[in-house]
Structure 1
Amino acid sequence: MKRIVSTIARACARRRWLTLAVWVVLVGGVFGTAFVIGPNLQDDVEVAGSDSQSAAALLSARTDTESEETTPSSRIVIAGNDITTETSVISDVVDALTAATGETVTNPLDDPGASARSGAIAPDGDALTITVTGDPKEEGKSWQREIDEALDPARDAGLDVAIGAPLGTQLDRAGTINSEIVGVVAALIVLLIALGSALAAMVPIATGIIAVAGGVGSVWLLSHGFSIPESAVTLAIMVGLGVGIDYALFLLSRFRQALRDGAEVVDAVADTGHTAGEAAMVAGLTVAVCATGLAISGVEFVAWLGFATAIVVVFAVASTLTLTPAVLAIIGRRALPRRERRTPLASTDTATAQPAQRRGPWERIAPRLTRHPVIAGVVSLIILTAVSLPALALQLGQSSAGNALPGSNQRASFDLIADHWGPGQNAPLILVGEGDDASTWTHLNDDLANLDDVAAVSPAVSNDGIITMQVIPESGPSDPATADLVHTMRTDTIPSSNIDAHVGGAVATRIDLSDRIAERLPWLIGIVIVASMILVAFTFRSILLPLKAALCNALSITAAFGVLVWVFQEGHGVELFGLDGPMPLDPYVPMMLFAVLFGLSMDYEVFLLSAVRQSWARGATPKDAVTRGLAETGGVISAAAIIMIAVFLSFTFSPNPVIKVFGVGLAVAVFIDATVIRLLLVPAIMTLLGKAAWWWPAGRRRRRTGMPALD
C-alpha cells in the first residue's frame, strides 16, 4: 500500500498544475451546481417500523388525498396583562402581517370567545397566538424580516412577543457568528505559529477548504433524493475541516523534513506519500467507516449524520492523497521558513551548507515519557478515571426549544406557551387510526382524560377515513413523565379500548428514536470496534496493537462523555456556551459521538504507530522505537490537536445547543486523546509490551531482513 500511495503522490507532483486544475474544476462544478440549485435539507425525524411512523403514514395518506398541499405555518405568541384589552395594538399587528404575507391573517380578538375555545387565547387571558403561513426558506430573508417588523407595534406597546418555528428558527440564525470562519481563522493562526511560513500555513487551510466544499456540495445534491438533516451538514463540516487540515499538516510536516534532508521536491513528495500519506489514508478511512456505522441505527435521520460525515472525510482523504502532493510540489522549498530555503541541508558544499538541525523539544521530552512506563501508565489511568466518573450518571433525554439560547425566538415562544397554556402545550400527542365514525373513540377519550399526566383531550375527528385525537400532557417534551405517558397509552390504555390507534407527533417520534437507539447502540459499538481493529491489525501487522488501540479509544471517549455529563447534563459552566442551565442529552448524541470519536481517536494512533513502526523496522529496540516515534510526531500531533480542538470549539458559537454538545465533546476527546492517551498511556503500554506489540503470524522473517511489515 505504501508504494501505491507513494506512486500516486509522485504522479500528482509531476503533473501538479493538471492535478490542481482537475480539483478546482471538479469541486467548483459540484459545489457551484449545488449552490445554484440549493440544498433541500430536512430536520424531520422518522423511525421506520415504529408506532409514531405508523401514525405519520396515516396522516400522510390523508394529506395526499387533499387537493391543496400543506403549507408550513409559524405561531406568533403575544403576551401581556389582559391581552383582550389590546385590541388596537393587535389590530395593527394583524394588518401589518396581512400586508407582509399577502394573505388574510385571522385576528383572535375579532371573536374572543371562539378564540378562547380554540386555544388561540390563553386560559388566563394574558396571551394569544397568531398564525402565519409560508415556508421561511422559500420565501426568503426579506419576507422573514417584514414579518418580524410587523410585530413592532406589540413590542412598542411593551408586550412580550415571540415567533415559533420554523420562522423563529430562521430569525434566530440571522446575525449569528459563522462557526466555520472562526474555526478556519483559529487554525490559520496555529499554523502560522507552528510553521513559521505564511505560504506553508495556507496549504492545509486551502486543501482542507477545497475538500470540505466538494463534500458539502455532494451532500447538498444528495439532499434532493434523500432526507438529510441540516445538522448532518454542520457536523460533516466540523469533522471535515478538522481532519482535512490535520491530514494536510501531517504531509506538510513530512515534506519539510524530506527537504531538510536534501531531497529534491518530487522525491520529497513521493517520500511524504510513502510515510504520512498511507497513515492519513488509513486514519481517514477509519473515521469514514466508523461514521457510516450509524446506519445500524435504522433511522434515516441518524444514518445521514454518519453518511454526510463520511462523504466529506472521503473527500479529505482524496485531497490528501492527490491535491496536497500537487500543492506541495508547486510551492516546493517555499514550504520551509525563509532562512532554510537557500540550500539543501545535505549539501556537501561546506561554505553554503546549513548547520545541523537543532535538537527539538520533543527529542528531549520523549525519553522522559518512556523512562518510567509503569508510573506513566498509572498516572494516566487515574486521570482518565477521574474525568470519566460523571459518565456513570449519564441520562438520555429529549432536548427541545426550551433548551434553546436565552432570548431567542424559540426559547421565548416555548416559555410563553408553557407559562400561559401549560408545559404540555409544547408536547402535543396525536392519536391516529382508521375509521369513519369518530364516536367509536368516545370511550378511549374518557380513558385518556382520566390518566394522571393528561391535561386535555380533544374530541376525535374523522376526515377521509382517518380519525385523529389530540392529547395534551401535563408535562413538557423533556420531562420523563411525558415518555411514561406515551408508553402507558401504547401498552395499556389504547389496547384495553380495543381500538387500533397509533401515538404520533414530534415528541412521540423522539421517544421512539430514543428506544430504537437504546436497542441498536450495543450493535454499533461492537461493529465499530471490530471494524477499526481489523484496519489497525492489517495496517501494522500486529495482533495486540488493535486491542490496545480499542482500549485507549474507549477510555478517551468515556472521558469525553464524563465532561459532557458534568457540563451539560449537570449544568457546570454551561454559561460559557451561552446556555442558562442544564440540558438533556439527546439519545442520538452518544451514538454519533462514539462513532465519530472512535474514528478520530485512530488518527493520532495511526500517525504515532507509523513512526514507531518505522524505527522498529530499522532495527531499534522496542523502547527506542517508541521514544523515536514520539520525538518525530509529538510536535506535529500537538499542533494538529490544537487545530482540531480550535475547529471543534468554534462550533460552540452555533445557536443550536446540540451542535454545542458535539463541539465540546469532540474537542474534549481530542484534547484527552492527544495528551493523556498519546503522551502517557500509549507510550507506557507500548514500552511494557516490548516486542510482543509487533507480533504477527509469520512476521519474524520480515523483521530480520529489516523490511517494514507493509512493504
Structure 2
Amino acid sequence: MEKRPVTVRVARWSAEHPWRAIALWVVFVAVCFIGGNMAGTVEASNSDQAIGESGRADVIVHDGKFDNPATESVLITPLTGALDRGAADRAAADVTTAMKALPEVASVSDPLPSHDGGALLVRVTMSGDPETAQDRVGKLRDATAGVQRAHPELRVEETGGESIGQAMDDTLGKDFQRAEFLSLPVTFAILIVAFGALIAAGVPVLLALSSVAAALGLSTLASHLVPSTDTTASVILLIGMAVGVDYSLFYLRREREERAKGRQHLDAVEIAAETSGHAVVVSGVAVTIAMAGLFLAGDVVFSSLAVGSILVVLVSVIGSLTVLPALLSKLGRWIDRPRVPLLWRLTRPRGAAEGQSRFWSFILRPALRRPAATLAVSVLALLALAAPALTMRLSFPGMEDLPRTTPAMQAYDRLVKAYPSTGTVHTVAVRVPAGQLDATKAALTELAKTAAADPLFAPLDEAPDIEVSADGKVAVLDVATPFAGRSEEAKESLTRLREVMVPQTVGKVPGVVAGHDAAVGGFVGADVDYAGHVKEKLPLVMGFVLVLTFLVMAFTFRSVIVAVTSIGLNMLSAGASYGLVVLIFQGTWAEGILGFKSMDAVVSWLPLFLFVVLFGLSMDYHVFVVSRIREAVRQGMSTRDAVAHGITGSAGVVTSAAIVMVAVFSIFATLSTVDMKQLGVGLAAAILLDATIIRAVVLPSLMTLLGNANWWAPRFMRRREVPPAPAPVVEGELVGAGR
C-alpha cells in the first residue's frame, strides 16, 4: 500500500483522535505563552541597533554614562503683535515659582530671550529617572496651564520630549486601540460573508489568535538569542492574523467542498490535507524564506521582526495541519451552523453537478480567449503603476511629520521658529584619548565657533555647551542647524561636519580618528545613514529571497517555468505597490484624503520590510491557485481547462482571504503617523492587486499562453510518473474552458 503524505497521516490521526489533538494544541499554546512570559524579553541595546556613523555616535554617548535628565521648555509669546517684555517677565517669574514648587522639578533656568525679542524661554529640568519622566510630566503641564490662565494676554505653553511623547502616546494609543477593536470584528464579519455560517467563520479567527499567542511566547524565548525590539509583537499580530486566517480558510473551504461532493467526513479531511494542506506547507516555507531574508539586512530590528514572523508562520502551519482537522472532526456538520440565510445560499459549497461560478468564468473569459493581448495590457498597466517607484526617496519621519493636532507639537513649531538652535541638532561624540581632554575640549570649542559662523548652522545663543563624562573619556557637543531635518541644507550641513569641520578640528587631536573615535550623529545623520544602509542591503535581501523561492517552487511543482513565473508575478505585485506608495506619499494630492502631511519621501525601513512581507504573503495565493491548476492537469485536463477549473475553484477562498487582509491592513492607513499610513496603504494595495489583477488576469493569461510549457523541467527534476494525457472534456463541464 502506497505511503500517504505526512500531511494526510497527521490529519487522519487528528480527525480520529480529536480530543487528544485539541488538548495537545491547548497545552502547546499555554506552555509557549506562559513559558515565554516567565523567561522574560531581552531588549536590543544601543550597540545592537547601531547603524553607520550615527550609530557609532550613539554608542559613544551611551558609553559616557551621562546623567541626562529630562527637560521641558516653557515658551512665552504674544498672542498678536510685539511681545510686551514686562508682561513676559512677570509670566516667566510665575513659571519659575510654580515649577520650583513641584517635587518633579530639579531646576529652572533664567528666562532666555530670542534673538528678535519676540519670545521668552524658560527651561525646566526634571528630577528623578528620565525613563519615567513622561509619566510625571503632567504636573508640569498643569503648572504651565495655571500660569496661562493668570496671563491671558500672552501665550504660555509647554513643549519638550516628555510632553510631546505623552501627547503622541495618547494619540497613538487611541489609534491602536481603535485598530485592534476594529480588526477582529471586521475579520469575523468578512468570514461570515465568506462562509455564510457563524461557526465556520469563527474557527479561522480562533486558530489565528491561538497561533499569535504561542508565537508571542516563543518570541520572548528567542529574544535571548536575537534581542527583541518594540515592534516585534505588533508584527507578530499583523502577520499571524494574516497567515493564520489564510491557512485555515484554504483548508476549511476544501474540506467543505469535498463534503458537498458527497465525500465521507474522514475522506474529505484527507483530501483537504493532501491538497490544501500541502499548499499550506509550501506557502509556509515560502513565507519563512522571505522573512529569513531580513537576517541579511544586518539590523537587529529586522532580525527581530524576522524571528517573530517566522515563528508565527510556522505555528500557524502546525495548527492548520493538526488541530484544524480535529476541530472539523468534532464539529462535523455543525461547522455550517448557525447559518445566515441569504449568505448561506450565496456561499454554500457547491456539489460537482452544480458547476463553477459564472461570475469568475466571465472574469476569466478574456484571459482564456485572448491570452496574449490580455497579458500584454495587464502587464503594461502594472508596469505603469510601478514606474513612480524609480523616483523613490528614503527618509526617517521626523518631528515635522508628527500630527500637529496636539498643543505640544504646536508649541514645538513656535519654539523652533523663535530659537532655531532648539530644532535640528547634530551630535558630535568623541572618545577622548588618554591625556587629551583639554585638547579635545579646545577642538570642540573651535568646531562650535566655526559652525556658528557658517550659514548652514544656527548662531550660538551662549558659549558652547560641551558635556564631558564623569571619567573624562567621552566628550559631546551639539551643533544646531536652523533647517528642517530632511532638507537638503540639513544634509549638506551634516556632510560639511563629517568631511570638513570635524577632521580639521577634533580630527587633529592626537589619537582621534574622525568618523570613528569622533562621530557625528543625530536625526539627520541617522536619516542619511539608514537610507544608505537600506539601499545597500535591499539587493542582497531580494537576491536571497528570489533564489531560494525559485528553488522551493521548482522543487514543489517540478517545473522551472512555474518557478520563474511565480517570481515574476510577485515582483510585478511588489513593484506596483512601491509605485502606489510613492505616488500617494511623495506627493501632496492625497493629503486631504488620508489625513497626512507629505514628507516627500518613503519611510526608510518600508521598502525592505514591504518586499519580504508582500513576497511571502503573495506566495499564499500563488501556491494555492497553482496547486489547484496542477491538480487538474494531473487528472487529465488540458492546461487551458485546468486554468479555468483551478482559478474558478479557488477564486472564492482567495478573494475571501484577500478581503480579510486588505481590510485589516487598511485600518493601519487610518492611524495618525505617516509611517503606519504608508505601511497600511502599501500592504493593502499590493494584496488587492495580487488577488485580482495578478491571479485573475495575468496568471491565467500567462499559463494559457504557455500551455504545456508551464510544466517543463530538466530531466533530473521530473517525477517518474507521467501525467495522463488530457481527457476529452464534455461541453459545459468546465465553465469558460476552451470557449
> Structure 1 length as normaliser, TM-score?
0.87
| Structure 1 partner of 2:108 | 107
Q: Structure 1 residue 159 and structure 2 residue 159: aligned?
A: no
- What is residue 626 of structure 1 aligned with on the other side? 643
* Secondary structure of the corresponding residue to residue 721 of structure 2: helix
SS of alignment partner, residue 5 of structure 2: helix
Q: Deviations over 1:619-677 (max 9, x none)?
A: 11111111111111111111111011011111223333212211110000001111111
Aligned residue among 11, 21, 39 for 1:9: 11
1:593 maps to amino acid = L
Match of 1:559 in 2: 576
Corresponding position of 2:698: 681
Change (3 A) 1:517 1:362: same
Distance 1:175 1:340 in 2: 33
1:473 maps to which of 481, 494, 497: 481
Counterpart code for 1:639: S
The offset of 1:609, in angstroms, is 0.4
Q: Partner of 2:27 in structure 1?
A: 25
Instruction: Point out the more displaced range, 600-609 or 4-13.
Output: 4-13
228-237 or 125-134: bigger deviation: 125-134
2:680 and 2:536 mapped to 1: Cα distance? 26
Q: 1:676 to 1:704 in 2, by over 3 A?
A: closer
Find the aligned partners of 1:137 and 1:313 in 2 and give their Cα distance.
34
* Pairs within 5 Å for 1:342-361: 356-357=353-354, 359-361=356-358
Instruction: Give the distance between the partners of 1:225 and 1:93, measured in 2 at CA.
Output: 49
Counterpart AA for 2:310: A
Cα gap change, 1:383 to 1:487, in 2 (>3 Å): same
Which residue pairs with 2:322 in the alignment?
A: 322
Q: 2:373 and 2:690 mapped to 1: Cα distance? A: 18
Verify the 8 A CA contact 1:127 1:420 in the aligned structure 2: no
State the partner residue of 1:130.
124
CA separation of 1:396 and 1:264: change in aligned 2, threshold 3 A: same
Partner of 1:490: 498
Q: Secondary structure at the match of 2:322?
A: helix
Q: Which moved more, 1:172-181 or 1:369-378?
A: 172-181
Instruction: Indicate how the Cα distance of structure 1 residues 520 and 466 shifts in structure 2: closer, same or farther if over 3 A, else same.
Output: same
> 1:661, 1:244 → 2: CA distance?
23
- Aligned counterpart, 2:276: 276
Deviation at 1:137, TM superposition (A): 7.6
CA distance in 2, matches of 1:294, 1:354: 44
Q: How does 1:127-276 map to 2 (within 5 A)?
A: 127-132=121-126, 143=136, 149=142, 151-154=144-147, 156=149, 159-165=156-162, 166-176=165-175, 177-220=177-220, 222-223=222-223, 226-276=226-276
Partner of 1:61: 63
CA RMSD of aligned residues (A): 3.3
Residue of structure 2 equivalent to 1:403: 401
Aligned mate of 1:512, from 529, 535, 553: 529
Which deviates more from structure 2 when the two are superposed, residues 130-139 or residues 301-310? 130-139
The answer (yes or no) to whether the contact 2:71–2:126 under 8 Å persists in 1 is yes
Aligned to 1:86, the other structure's residue is in SS state helix
Between the aligned partners of 1:275 and 1:199, the Cα distance in structure 2 is: 23
| Residue matched to 1:371 | 369
User: Which among 685, 689, 693 is matched to residue 668 of structure 1?
Assistant: 685
Structure 1 residues not aligned, in runs of 5+: 342-352
Give 1:453-468 correspondences, 5 Å limit: 453-456=456-459, 458-463=464-469, 464-468=472-476
The code of the aligned residue for 1:85 comes to R
Contact 1:62 1:466 in 2 (8 A): yes
Over 3 Å counting, the alpha-carbon distance change for 1:594 and 1:408 in structure 2 is farther
TM-aligned CA deviation for residue 684 of structure 1: 0.8
Q: Give 1:477 deviation, angstroms.
A: 1.8
Answer yes or no: is the 8 Å Cα contact 2:204–2:245 preserved in 1.
yes
Q: Which moved more, 1:267-276 or 1:664-673?
A: 267-276
Measure the CA separation in 2 of the matches of 1:366 and 1:73.
61
- What is the CA–CA distance in structure 2 between the aligned matches of 1:327 and 1:72, rounded to whole Å? 56
Query: Once the two structures are superposed, what CA deviation does each residue of 1:3-33 show, in whole Å capped at 9, x if it has no partner?
Result: 1112122222223222222332332344346
8 A contact 1:385–1:559 mirrored in 2:
yes
Q: Deviations over 1:600-628 (max 9, x none)?
A: 12111111100000001111111111111
Quick one: which amino acid aligns to residue 28 of structure 2? Answer: L
Cα distance in 2, alignment partners of residues 24 and 134 from structure 1: 44
Amino acid at match of 2:681: V
The corresponding residue for 1:615 is: 632
1:702 alignment partner in structure 2: 721
Distance 1:188 1:695 in 2: 42
Is the CA contact (8 Å cut-off) linking 1:55 and 1:502 kept in structure 2?
yes
Equivalent position of 2:515 in the other structure: none
Q: Distance in 2 between matches of 1:188 and 1:27?
A: 22
Is the CA contact 2:42–2:224 (under 8 Å) kept in the aligned structure 1? yes
Give the equivalent residue in structure 2 for 1:346: none
- Are 2:583 and 1:575 aligned? no
Do 2:36 and 2:218's aligned partners in 1 also have CA atoms closer than 8 Å?
A: yes
| TM superposition shift of 1:304 | 2.1
Structure 2: 5+ residue stretches without partners: 342-349, 513-517, 727-739
Tell me how far apart the structure 2 counterparts of residues 124 and 492 of structure 1 sit (CA, whole Å).
Answer: 35
Aligned to 1:644: 661
The CA deviation string for residues 406-456 of structure 1, in whole angstroms up to 9 with x for no partner, is 314674354233222227623342332314111244443444334441114
Inter-CA distance 454–338: structure 2 relative to 1 (3 Å threshold): closer
AA aligned opposite 1:453: L
* Residue in structure 2 matched with residue 598 of structure 1 by the alignment: 615
Instruction: Give the partner amino acid of 1:703.
Output: V
Report the 3-state secondary structure (helix = DSSP H, G, I; strand = E; otherwise coil) of the residue aligned with 1:106. Answer: strand
Report deviation, 1:540: 0.8
Identity over aligned pairs, percent: 26
What is the alpha-carbon distance in structure 1 between the residues aligned to residue 169 and residue 480 of structure 2?
Answer: 27
Residue in structure 1 matched with residue 732 of structure 2 by the alignment: none
Q: Does the 8 A contact of 1:406 with 1:580 survive in 2? A: no
User: Compared with structure 1, are the counterparts of its residues 318 and 659 closer, same or farther at alpha carbon in structure 2 (3 Å cutoff)?
Assistant: farther
Separation in 1, partners of 2:48, 2:408: 22
TM-score by length of 2: 0.84
Q: Is the 8 A contact 1:366 1:627 kept in 2?
A: no
Distance in 2 of aligned mates of 1:536 and 1:655: 39
Aligned residue for 1:653, secondary structure, equals coil
CA apart distance, 1:506: 4.1
Mapped partners of 2:142, 2:444: distance in 1: 44
